[in-house]
């Protein structure tokens, strides 16, 4: 649905405006007073539309990413819940094939996943990035806001484990694990790893693949090596 809106947004808008102009012209032909009910109805629809758009836009956009990740993934099949998958190509290279994270940039490797900790926490493991820029953002599906960041600018580039949990649960992070608290227990996860050129693609992709989610009892360390 999101892709159809983006692809045909201008033609759809043009058709709606033309229909609206035609309706106004028909009303005006009957007299100026005939347009008053139409103006009132338009104002009500506009106000209701604004409220619905503001309230449901995060669900539409973040939900669209969720469905795409769980059903198609980033090019190598569906990505299960609480699993991160790294795209093997940089996004500008996948843009022509309609990649989910096709952005036009050529200096980042992407990873993505959908995390759900409503039934129990997860450990996010990040390997030692050795000074390389990377970032992992958690986007709330209810508000559309980014509720947490892990990366060079916020947590440094050393190896680490982060305790991802639901704010509504009483989960306690193990010693030494930095908590990431999700307001509604679910989040869209988008990660980026800097890739300076084609000769670095393999190294950057390898680091992106080592960023993993795992249940706390399983331990995150073995998944990140």
Please compute the mean of the pLDDT values over residues 11-32 and round it to a whole number. Answer: 78
Q: What is the pLDDT of residues 182-204, one digit of tens each?
A: 999 999 999 999 998 888 889 99
The encoded tokens of residue 215 equal 């249940």
- What pLDDT, on a 0 to 100 scale, did the predictor assign at position 31? 73
Say if residue 97's pLDDT is above 50.
no
Measured CA to CA in angstroms, residue 29 lies from 43, 52, 105 at distances of 21, 33, 53
Q: What is the mean pLDDT of residues 19-27?
A: 77
pLDDT higher at 141 or 48: 141
Q: Which two tokens stand for residue 62?
A: 């973040």
Check pLDDT > 90 for residue 22: no
The token pair at 108 is 């980042």
> What is the mean pLDDT of the segment spanning 151-174?
93
Q: CA 166: distance to chain centroid?
A: 18
CB 142 within 8 A of CB 58: yes
Indicate the pTM of the whole model: 0.71
Average pLDDT estimate for 76-83: 90
More confident: 159 or 55: 159
Tell me which DSSP letter residue 26 carries. H
Answer yes or no: are the C-beta atoms of 213 and 82 closer than 8 Å.
Answer: yes
Fold exhibited by the domain 85-224:
Immunoglobulin-like (2.60.40)
- Look over the chain and give the mean of its residue pLDDT values, rounded to a whole number: 82
Give the contacts of 2 (CB within 8 A, at least 6 positions apart).
60, 61, 64
Residue 34: partners with Cβ closer than 8 Å, 6 or more residues away: 27, 28
Q: What is the mean pLDDT of residues 105-109?
A: 81
The domains of the chain are located at 2-71, 85-224
Residue 100 and residue 72 in contact, taking contact as beta carbons nearer than 8 Å: yes
């Amino acid at each position: 649905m999101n892709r159809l809106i983006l692809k045909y947004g201008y033609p759809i808008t043009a058709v709606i405006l033309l229909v609206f102009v035609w309706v106004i012209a028909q009303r005006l032909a009957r007299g100026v007073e005939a347009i008053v009910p139409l103006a009132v109805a338009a104002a009500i629809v506009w106000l209701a539309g604004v409220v619905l758009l503001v309230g449901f836009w995060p669900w539409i956009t973040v939900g669209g990413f969720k469905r795409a990740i769980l059903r198609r993934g980033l090019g190598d099949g569906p990505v299960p819940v609480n699993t991160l998958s790294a795209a093997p190509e940089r996004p500008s290279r996948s843009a022509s094939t309609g990649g989910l994270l096709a952005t036009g940039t050529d200096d980042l490797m992407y990873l993505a996943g959908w995390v759900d900790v409503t039934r129990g926490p997860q450990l996010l493991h990040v390997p030692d990035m050795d000074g390389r820029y990377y970032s992992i953002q958690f986007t709330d599906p209810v508000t559309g806001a980014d509720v947490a960041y892990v990366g060079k600018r916020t947590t440094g580039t050393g190896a680490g484990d982060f305790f991802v949990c639901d704010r509504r649960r009483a989960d306690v992070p193990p010693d030494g694990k930095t908590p990431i608290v999700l307001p509604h227990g679910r989040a869209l996860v988008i990660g980026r790893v800097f890739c300076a050129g084609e000769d670095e693609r393999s190294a950057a992709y390898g680091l992106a693949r080592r960023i993993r989610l795992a249940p706390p009892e399983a331990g995150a360390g073995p998944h990140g090596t």
